[in-house]
Amino acid sequence: MGALGKPIILMVAMYVFIKFVLPNIPGSAPLPSSLIALYLLLTGSGIVIFQTLSKESKDAFWGPMQRFLTGENLGGLQALRYGVLILFPLLVGWQTYGSTAVSDLPPIESRTIHPAPPGEYTGLSNPVAKTPDNIMQGKGFYAAYCSPCHGGNFDGKGPAARGFVPAPANFADPTTIAMLQESYLFWRIKKGGVGLPIEGTPWKSAMPRWEVELPDEWIWKIIMGEYDGAHQSPRTWE
Amino acid sequence: MSAIQQGVKTIQRALPAVNAQGAWLAGLLLAAGWFALPSIGIAAEGTAAGPTEYRDIPYIGARNIIWVVAQLHLLLAGFVLGVPIFAWLCEVIAWRGGEKRYDKLAKEFTKLLTSAYATTALFGGILLFLLVAFYPKLMNYLTDVFFPSFLLYCLLFLLETATLYLYWYGWDAMQEGRKKSLHVFLGFLLNFFALFIMIVPNAWATFQASPVVIAEGTAFERAWAATWNPTWWPINIHRLIANVVLGGYICGAYAGVRYLSVKSAEDREHYDWMGYVGNFIGVFGLLALPFAGYWLMREIYQYNQQMGITLMGGFLSWLFILQAMLIGVLFLGSNYYFWLGITYRIPGSEAKYRKAMLMMLVSLLLCLAVWMTPHSLVASIEEAQKMGGAHHPLLGVLGVMSAKMTVSNLMILITFMSFVMYWRAGKQDTAGWAAFGKAVMGAILVLASIAVIVLGVWGYFVPAIVRINYFSTSQVLIVIFVILTITPLTALLLKSARTTTEMVWGSMPPRAGYSLVLNAVMVILLMTLMGYARSSSRVHWHVYGVMRDTSPYAYSPALGSASLIMAFCTFFFCILVAFIFWVATMGDKYKTAAGAGKGDLPHGIPAMAGGAPDKGPQG
């Protein structure tokens, strides 16, 4: 096994880490299989690259595999070789079947999280003056209309949040509203899930269409309140 | 609408008259319809009275044909405009430094260039005909806006062609003295015209994405306003660098294939060296390309939020994960080639640098893992529920630009250090200040890496505009600073260094040649991918916000369908290039086979596709 032992141990260790250790770190969660496959692929590529950097290391790495597969001087391992030669194609076949067979599971969706807003909403700037009073009013509106889902701490953990998949957006996360302009939020709040464009389908948003209940001015104030409460700033170009 | 109503009334009036002969008339109509079926294929769309707006062909579709031909033309053009830059630089190095092998290399590069030039022009012509045929409304509009620059383009093409002919066919005749100076000047002119040949059509393409339309003024004023649109220069710079990368990697792949097939030791040495130069040129451009790409995307975002989000957050955002994968393979492939070079070309270096190579490899893979981690993950319902949404609570932070910019800068630093390591291998410093110099370089590298990471992490806690305008820019400047300080310091250090192990050319294993080919395929795929992204970002507009696409193809193809076309373009381009290079080197093989018995062929034989005036066999 020699030079093969370390790579095998490394692959197994990597798998154990991303499958069992990483999800148990506080604040973490299990990784989807797509990400696990990606990280294992990178690890495997790294091993192949490193082991083939010189003739000696390449021979030490490929040699045992080659000898095993060709059956050269294998002795008692012949049965294992035949086992591998039979089981490997079966494994590939099983994988192929598993990925093509009809399943009762819903298909994986690569949802578009930030579909582009319609042209009329791009470039809008908040017409409401950014005063402490307006921000306070906005937070009040937020508490009344938005916090049940998006949370009193702007963290997406409102009392109703557990009922939604996907979960309501966490505004305190620097990767959400901090990446967007105010006009984008205005569009999403005003039009809600039903207002998402065709490129956003299959849209999965329970966001109400607030334009039927709230005047535009209130929406702009809510946006100000959200940014202030979540300690984030909107994306601007100035 | 009124025309349709009028037509309906006419039919209604005519129907009673033909009532009696209804049966045979219906049969006649059916037969006519049957025979007219093929015409659907080349149907012209437009109002009955108005001019034709679109034409189509059956099964394949007008858009797919335009897509493939435009992509092939762009790839060929990228090669044809990129290669003269480094061919000329090689010639200058040979001219000033006296190293003849650089002149031979420059000539070989130019041979490939001449071979590809005619094919590029051919595809350009086909593209123009097809555009005029399939999209007459759009072409009419663009002609109206850009008429003066069309004329300029024709003139530039004439000048470029004449210069290229003089440059290539005059190579052997202009080898000595002042003639050589003239030849070098011709090379400069070739690049000068090539630059304008690139930036003039760039104006047409970028106008479609970010149009500047003025209603008044002369034809020249309107063309100039449309030319100087917000994404013109970002695209110019991005394409200029990308062309060098493409050219470098394709020349590297050519050398790799030749290296694998040649028999003599001399040829193996030559093509090993050529492969190294090709890879070096590719890497050299690759280091600068992310900066140019970032600038381009920033300009697009600033120009139009809708377009920016469509690209980076909307339905095209998955392309950037694919892009990360392709660039990742490119970085890995390029570094792998450098490391193989250290191990095989500089005997005894492996033991010295193996640990360093391992560290670099691990760092590269960690960076790649960050770059390839999407913000919204591909997950089943069950997996998404466990994560609490499409974002992983811990790894989700790796999916945004701050993380991506940080790791791309670090990858550039690692690749640069790979090259420096290769450069230093087999040499022993003799300068008195060597220890101090190396300590300074090490400190610069460590501090720069820390600074890049700190800015990246800090980027999460500042407004987006601060991150974009200051932090990301600072990261780029830090990397440029490292490159600009360590390169001259290393050069100075190596000036007095003693060579302990001579470089052995021609000793690389076959996998080195394959990695060169892989790099070229990756860069071609990358260009086809980004070509689709740039074009699709206009969504259902021919000219964004100005002229709507009203054809049946006014939709963005699904990523799966698009990737099929991209793969086809890549495959077809590789076949095309292989064929062109095969034709180009046919003469050499013949001469090699004929050997000394027949003697050299007369110089300056006019030859198609660049298989021209070599003094001797090149394998």
Task: Determine, for residues B381 and A105 on separate chains, whether the beta-carbon distance falls below 8 Å.
Answer: yes
Residue type (1 letter), B1: M
pLDDT at residue number B617 = 36
The lowest-confidence range among A4-8, A195-199, B154-158, B365-369 is A195-199
Q: How many CB atoms lie within 10 A of CB B151?
A: 11
Residues in chain A with CB shorter than 8 Å from the CB of B465 are 235-238
Report pLDDT digits (tens) over B239-278: 999 999 999 999 999 999 999 998 889 889 999 999 999 9
Task: Determine, for residues A199 and B397 on separate chains, whether the beta-carbon distance falls below 8 Å.
Answer: no
pLDDT at residue number A227 = 95
Task: Determine, for residues B396 and A38 on separate chains, whether the beta-carbon distance falls below 8 Å.
Answer: no
Q: Distance from A24 to chain B by nearest Cα, in Å?
A: 11
Please give the residue of chain A at the shortest CA–CA distance from B387: A29
Task: Determine, for residues B393 and A119 on separate chains, whether the beta-carbon distance falls below 8 Å.
Answer: no
Report pLDDT digits (tens) over A97-110: 988 888 887 777 66
Cβ–Cβ pairs < 8 A, chains A and B:
168
Task: Determine, for residues A235 and B465 on separate chains, whether the beta-carbon distance falls below 8 Å.
Answer: yes
Q: Is the pLDDT at B10 greater than 80, yes or no?
A: no
pLDDT at residue number A198 = 76
Q: Is the pLDDT at B435 greater than 70, yes or no?
A: yes
Residue B556 CA, distance from chain mean position: 22
Task: Determine, for residues B389 and A28 on separate chains, whether the beta-carbon distance falls below 8 Å.
Answer: no
Q: Is the pLDDT at B614 greater than 50, yes or no?
A: no
pLDDT at residue number B28 = 52
Per-position DSSP letters for B479-521, written without gaps between them: HHHHHHHHHHHHHHHHHSPEESS---TT---HHHHHHHHHHHH
Question: Using 50, 70 and 90 to split pLDDT, how confident is the model at B45?
Answer: low
Task: Determine, for residues B369 and A28 on separate chains, whether the beta-carbon distance falls below 8 Å.
Answer: no
pLDDT at residue number B112 = 84
CA neighbor of B413 nearest in space, from B457, B477, B353, B460: B477
Taking the domains of chain A in order of start, what are their residue ranges?
2-100, 119-229
Q: How far is Cα A156 from Cα A185, in angstroms, rounded to an integer? A: 15
Q: How far is Cα B114 from Cα B109, in angstroms, rounded to an integer? A: 9
What are the CA-CA distances from residue A213 to residues A118, A226, B157, B235 (Å)?
Answer: 21, 18, 62, 45
Higher pLDDT, B611 or B168: B168
Q: Distance from B59 to chain A by nearest Cα, in Å?
A: 25
User: What is the model's pTM?
Assistant: 0.84
The lowest-confidence range among A218-222, B487-491, B605-609 is B605-609
What are the CA-CA distances from residue B331 to residues B33, B357, B413 (Å)?
Answer: 58, 14, 11
Closest CB to A166 among B318, B390, B545: B390
Which residues is B498 bridged to in the sheet?
B428
Report pLDDT digits (tens) over B303-362: 888 888 888 877 888 888 889 889 999 999 999 999 999 999 988 888 889 999 999 999
Closest CB to A167 among B310, B358, B388: B388
What CATH class does A119-229 carry?
A: mainly alpha
Task: Determine, for residues B390 and A111 on separate chains, whether the beta-carbon distance falls below 8 Å.
Answer: yes
Task: Determine, for residues A175 and B386 on separate chains, whether the beta-carbon distance falls below 8 Å.
Answer: no
- Whether the Cβ atoms of residue A14 and residue B373 lie closer than 8 Å to each other: no
Report pLDDT digits (tens) over B532-590: 999 999 888 999 989 999 999 998 888 889 999 999 999 999 999 999 888 877 777 77
Task: Determine, for residues B379 and A45 on separate chains, whether the beta-carbon distance falls below 8 Å.
Answer: no
pLDDT at residue number A196 = 86
Q: Is the pLDDT at B40 greater than 50, yes or no?
A: no
Q: How far is Cα B1 from Cα B296, in angstroms, rounded to an integer? A: 43
Q: Distance from B589 to chain A by nearest Cα, in Å?
A: 32
Task: Determine, for residues B313 and A113 on separate chains, whether the beta-carbon distance falls below 8 Å.
Answer: yes
Please state the three-class secondary structure of B211-269 as a single string: CCCCCCCCHHHHHHHHHCCCCHHHHHHHHHHHHHHHHHHHHHHHHHHHHHHCCCHHHHH
Please give the residue of chain B at the shortest CA–CA distance from A174: B460
Pairing of strands B427-428, B547-548: unpaired
Task: Name the phi and psi angles at B45, rounded to 5.
Answer: -100, 135
pLDDT at residue number A63 = 87
- Using the structure block, give the residue that is written with the tokens 């191990």: B343
Residues in chain B with CB shorter than 8 Å from the CB of A181 are 305
Q: What is the mean pLDDT of chain B?
A: 85
- Give the SS3 label for residue B45: strand
Q: Is the pLDDT at A21 greater than 50, yes or no?
A: yes
Task: Determine, for residues B511 and A28 on separate chains, whether the beta-carbon distance falls below 8 Å.
Answer: no
- Whether the Cβ atoms of residue B542 and residue B135 lie closer than 8 Å to each other: yes
Q: Distance from A237 to chain B by nearest Cα, in Å?
A: 6
Half-sphere exposure of A134 (CA within 13 A, CB side): 14
- Whether the Cβ atoms of residue A118 and residue A197 lie closer than 8 Å to each other: yes
pLDDT at residue number B18 = 45
Q: Is the pLDDT at A34 greater than 60, yes or no?
A: yes
Q: Is the pLDDT at B475 greater than 90, yes or no?
A: yes
The lowest-confidence range among A220-224, B48-52, B87-91 is B48-52
Residues in chain A with CB shorter than 8 Å from the CB of B387 are 29-30, 32
Mutate one of B321, B394, B398, B405 to test the A interface: name it (highest A CB count within 10 A).
Answer: B394
Q: Is the pLDDT at B483 greater than 90, yes or no?
A: yes
Q: Report percent pLDDT > 70 for chain B.
A: 87
Which span out of A126-135, B113-122, B600-609 was modeled with the highest average pLDDT?
A126-135
Average pLDDT over residues B216-237: 92
Higher pLDDT, B226 or B374: B226
Q: Distance from A22 to chain B by nearest Cα, in Å?
A: 9
Closest CB to B302 among A49, A165, A237: A237
Residues in chain A with CB shorter than 8 Å from the CB of B460 are 174-175
Average pLDDT over residues B281-287: 89
pLDDT at residue number B586 = 79
Q: How far is Cα B503 from Cα A27, in angstroms, rounded to an integer? A: 53
Task: Determine, for residues B376 and A118 on separate chains, whether the beta-carbon distance falls below 8 Å.
Answer: no
Q: Distance from A103 to chain B by nearest Cα, in Å?
A: 13
Task: Work out whether the CA dihedral A167, A170, A174, A176 comes out positive or negative.
Answer: positive
> ipTM surpassing 0.90, yes or no?
no
Please give the residue of chain B at the shortest CA–CA distance from A169: B389
Q: Is the pLDDT at A151 greater than 70, yes or no?
A: yes
Per-position DSSP letters for B528-584, written without gaps between them: HHHHHHHHHTTTTEEETTTEE--STT-SPPPHHHHHHHHHHHHHHHHHHHHHHHHHH
Task: Determine, for residues A122 and B306 on separate chains, whether the beta-carbon distance falls below 8 Å.
Answer: yes
pLDDT at residue number B34 = 53
pLDDT at residue number B592 = 67
Mutate one of B307, B337, B354, B391 to test the A interface: name it (highest A CB count within 10 A).
Answer: B391
Q: How far is Cα A154 from Cα B330, in angstroms, rounded to an integer? A: 41
pLDDT at residue number B97 = 85
- Token representation of residue A87: 């089981």
User: Containing H/E element for B166?
Assistant: helix B136-169
